[in-house]
Structure 1
Amino acid sequence: MFEYRSNRQYVQPNRLMPAETAPHEAAWMAWPSGSYTLGERPADADEARSTWAAVANAIVEFEPVHVLVPPSERAEAARFLDPRVRVHERMLDDAWYRDIGPTFVIEGEGPTRSLGAVTWVFNGWGQQEWARWEHDAVASHVAVDATGATRIDSPMVNEGGGIHTNGAGTFLVTETVQLDPDRNPGWTRADVEAELARTLGARKVIWLPRGLTRDSERFGTRGHVDIVATFADRGVVLVHDQRDPAHPDHEVSRELIELLEAERDADGKPLRVVRLPAPATLRDDEGWVDYSYVNHFVCNGAVIACSFDDPVDGEALAVLADAYPGRRVVAIDARPLFARGGGIHCITQQQPLLHP
């Protein structure tokens, strides 16, 4: 296990993680293959494949898509995926490329700009007993090698779903992820902030105390930020708003909204907080749901959004349309994803365009 000390001094390189709203070169994904993802019945497997494919096929209408596919799933992937999607054959343990893939950054400025790729340590969302990560721990190398990006290794255990940025040095994280003792034992806020500055160009890190209730239970990530809050613009934050007091996330939403309304970005400017309503659905067969419209993917010209066959779908999609003017909102039923532990943002990872 890595040990990190806040008194280490780094010269901050000239690198920056762009906002998800910045132009993309491509999107990256991984194909479902794990036992719990495919389930026990052929119908369960096809539900997973068709949902992952629906996301990839929606994105490829707007930008190139790369998908890592295990050899055993090559034929099934070909059956479901749009022929324009590029397949990379690779062994996998799971299918959440946001978490196991690299985080791309831009290094330098002007004509000398180059692409970098931060490779975090991945340990199964904090060494969870149900997780396997032999192959996923090195799955980021596929995108690094294919893009020719400069690999930037980090000693920090982290996942892409655990960070969001406005593209100008302000980041959102949660205390329950980066400071998780099963991820980074002994690390402090200062340690995490120094590493985010070194790898991603962070100048201001906003710490949220926790994530959603379901995501904090046995099969969750212990509080990924990409299900509770995201930047729609440099100074605009969309926040999950659970309006029903019966749901335990009602209190989570209240706490996060109050915190963010009092925060400022890296340039000292106040944030504008936009409430993105939670679905009216409160429970499924497993308990309180963590259905969230925050967990969308912004690509070139579009927002690939979660829907839940819920009365609030229309209202939430309208909020997204207002938050991302000029982009088409494409809704995909994300219930099969959330039943398996994530959403649309969790299965996608953007590669920024080097010279927009």
Structure 2
Amino acid sequence: MPDTPFRMPAEWEPHAATWLAWPHRRSDWPGRFSPIPWVYTEIVRAVSRHEPVNLVVPGPKTQARAAKLLATVGVDLGRVRFFVLPTDRGWVRDSGPIFVVDDAGNRVALDWHFNAWAKYPDWTRDDKLPAFAAAQLGLPTRQPTHRGWRVVLEGGSIDVNGRGLMLTTEECLLSKQQERNPPFDRSDYEAVFAAELGVRKVLWLNRGIAGDDTHGHVDDLARFVTPTTVVTVVEENEADDNYAPLRENLDRLRGFTDADGGKLEVVELPMPALRVYDGMRIPASYANFYIANGVVIVPTFNDPADRRALGVLSELFSGREVVGISCVDLVWGLGTLHCMTQQEPAGSGAS
């Protein structure tokens, strides 16, 4: 049983808002930054038609520029709330708070430690975002600790069904490479997830997709779309580096059961063709979609598989719009739509 009355809701449960951070770090998209703000305008436009957007900007000048661009593409600025906070980067899925709720609708913002994926030295500004967001919303916050260690956790490394079941990867959390929490083993993580997120069972996949700068985030790999249904990316080209590990993960998923012992339905998503920038593989994946109120935004790559991926997700989310967002430029930053968004679940507290 979970060790807390709080739980992390599934992404498809009602949201109070979506959190984003306006792009400002040019080096995240070397030589290709100029179109990135326009991609963000499309994301805000798609999401804000269905729920408010809380947009973090590094200063008033950036706020003014962002507001002008958003208005240019027809965004209702009454649906966008700006928050001024200097940040290192804009990947809010990983640096932002993870919100939990109890049965009465009370919400808490969890302030996990963020250390830039145990890879980059500049993270101290991003690490302040959860406490800042909680203060702006008037919500209590908690810094998860385990065995005296403040826990490092990125939102892209986990996915939940809202009913006690979680997906993650061994590559991200248990590998010695980009090691987030050196004292922890599998049982430590499972204890943390039970205590903080209401998780009763963790489904451990093996490796993430090739080229993933985070070293194995699950949100490029496999996602819950209902309490008992998981979509997972599968590579059809046997010569591709993704072929064997993605097949292994598919096999694991087919053998897993949910927190109550029931069988999971596993649905396959295609992978786009290989993309390379300056000799480096880019982690393009259709699994990096984001579920908002009334809409699912899906990364597309001007690839023949775009149509297939949108078709699969349209069938799974028949009650929501499924909107493709071109991420041909965005993905050069080594992340797309899910990486840059963080849902704020609805609850009884202020928003």
Shared fold per TM-score greater than 0.5: yes
User: Which aligned pairs between 1:203-218 and structure 2 lie closer than 5 A?
Assistant: 203-215=200-212
Q: State the TM-score, normalizing by the size of structure 1.
A: 0.90
Counterpart amino acid of residue 57 in structure 2: V
Please list the CA deviations of residues 39-66 of structure 1 after superposition, one character each: whole Å capped at 9, or x if unmatched.
45xxx33311111222122100110000
Give 3-state SS (helix, strand or coil) of 2:230's partner.
strand
Amino acid across the alignment from 1:60: S
Q: Residue in 1 aligned with 2:108?
A: 116
In 2, Cα distance between the equivalents of 1:50 and 1:142?
26
| Counterpart position of 1:231 | 224
State how many pairs are aligned.
333
Select the residue among 233, 253, 258 that pairs with 2:251.
258
Q: Per-residue deviation at 1:94?
A: 0.2
2:136 corresponds to which residue?
146
2: CA distance between counterparts of 1:290 and 1:91? 27
Question: What amino acid maps onto 1:184 in structure 2?
Answer: N
Q: Deviations over 1:169-226 (max 9, x none)?
A: 10011112223443100211110011111110000011111111100xxxx0011000
Q: Are 1:59 and 2:47 matched, yes or no?
A: yes
> What is the identity, as a one-letter code, of the residue corresponding to 1:282?
L
Q: In 1, Cα distance between the equivalents of 2:181 and 2:254?
A: 29
Instruction: Read off the aligned partner of 1:19 and give its amino acid letter.
Output: A
Q: Write the distance in 2 (CA, Å) between the matches of 1:206 and 1:152.
A: 25
Aligned residues of 2:2 and 2:198 also touching (Cα < 8 A): no
Candidates 327, 330, 336, aligned match of 1:337: 330
Instruction: Report the secondary structure of 1:120's partner residue.
Output: coil
Separation in structure 2 between the aligned mates of residue 31 and residue 37 of structure 1, nearest angstrom: 13
Task: Name the % identity.
Answer: 37
Give the whole-Å Cα distance in 1 for the aligned partners of 2:132 and 2:314: 33
What does 1:1-356 correspond to in 2, within 5 Å? 12-37=3-28, 39=30, 44-71=32-59, 73-81=62-70, 82=75, 83=77, 84-107=79-102, 109=103, 112-126=104-118, 128-129=119-120, 131-154=121-144, 155-181=150-176, 182-215=179-212, 220-279=213-272, 281-285=273-277, 286-354=279-347
Secondary structure, aligned partner of 1:46? coil
Task: Letter of the 2:108 partner, please give it.
Answer: G
Partners of 2:69 and 2:195 lie apart in 1 by: 40
* 2:2/2:194 contact within 8 Å kept: no
Task: For 1:120, give the aligned amino acid.
Answer: W
- The residue type equivalent to 2:112 in the other structure is W
Return the letter of the residue paired with 1:58.
A
Q: Structure 1: any 5+ residue segments left out of the alignment?
A: 1-9
Residues 298-352 of structure 1 deviation map (CA, whole Å, 9 limit, x = unaligned)? 0111101111111111111010011112111111001222110101000000011
Question: Alpha-carbon deviations, 1:130-160, whole Å to 9, x = none?
Answer: x511200111123211222221211211100
**Residue type of the alignment partner of 1:149:** L
Letter paired with 2:93: R
Change (3 A) 1:206 1:97: same
8 Å contact from structure 1 (residues 22, 352) kept in 2: yes
SS at 1:15's partner residue? coil
Confirm or deny: 8 A CA contact 1:308 1:335 kept in the other structure. yes
Give 1:74's aligned amino acid.
Q
Does structure 1 retain, via aligned residues, the 8 Å contact 2:275–2:284? no
Q: What TM-score, normalized by structure 2, do the two folds share?
A: 0.91
CA contact (8 A) 1:57 1:85 kept: no
**Pairwise CA RMSD of aligned residues?**
1.6
